[in-house]
Amino acid sequence: MLVDEVLGDFERIDLLFHCGWARPAAALLQLDEWDWQRTFETNVTSPYLLLKLAGRMMREQGGGTAGIFAVDAATPPAFAATQQARLALARAAHAEFLTYNIFIFAIRLGEDLSISGEAPLPPGGETPELAQAVQLAVQLAAHGPLPGADGAVYSTGTSPKLSPAE
């Protein structure tokens, strides 16, 4: 198991980022149940299980940080539904885990962005917004919530300045 390997090498988990996802292209009427289920297992169940496992370890060690990347997408429908679920998961985990000095956050990317390998971006075609998302994740991991933010969900927005999501 991946977590066991990390613990074997480093003895603790201080930081977790989940940024992988499935993105079937089919519309709802063409989407088969297997793709729907696979999309939810990959995009929602996977970060849930990792948060649960790493959260328990972080609680035992006195704290930690976990981040989830999500895309502000309206389509394809299965993908869009899971991205909203990822944001809801981050908000729920943030509220619950703060008691244990564990900071959970999500970074909402624009619809055309992905960091999963299924990106519409060509290799080397990173956009300023994607670079901002990575910079924001590093900033949040190092320093915790930004002042004035809801604490759980952040967005790079359209301006070059990093800003909490509204």
Distance CA 120, CA 103 (A): 30
The pLDDT assigned to 116 comes to 42
Which sign, positive or negative, has the C-alpha torsion 28, 71, 24, 22? negative
Domain 2-164 has CATH 3.40.50.1820: no
At 75, give phi and psi (nearest 5°): -145, 165
Segments in the chain below pLDDT 70 = 111-127, 129-130, 146-151, 156-166
The pLDDT assigned to 120 comes to 45
Q: What pLDDT, in 10s, does the model give residues 29-60?
A: 999 999 999 999 999 999 999 999 999 999 99
The pLDDT assigned to 153 comes to 84
Report long-range pairs for 53-60 (Cβ below 8 Å, ≥24 apart): 53/3, 54/3, 54/13, 54/16, 55/93, 55/97, 55/100, 55/102, 57/3, 57/7, 57/12, 57/13, 58/13, 58/14, 58/97, 58/100, 58/102, 59/97, 59/100, 59/102
Domain spans in the chain, listed from the N-terminal domain onward: 2-164
Distance CA 140, CA 144 (A): 5
What is this structure's pTM? 0.80
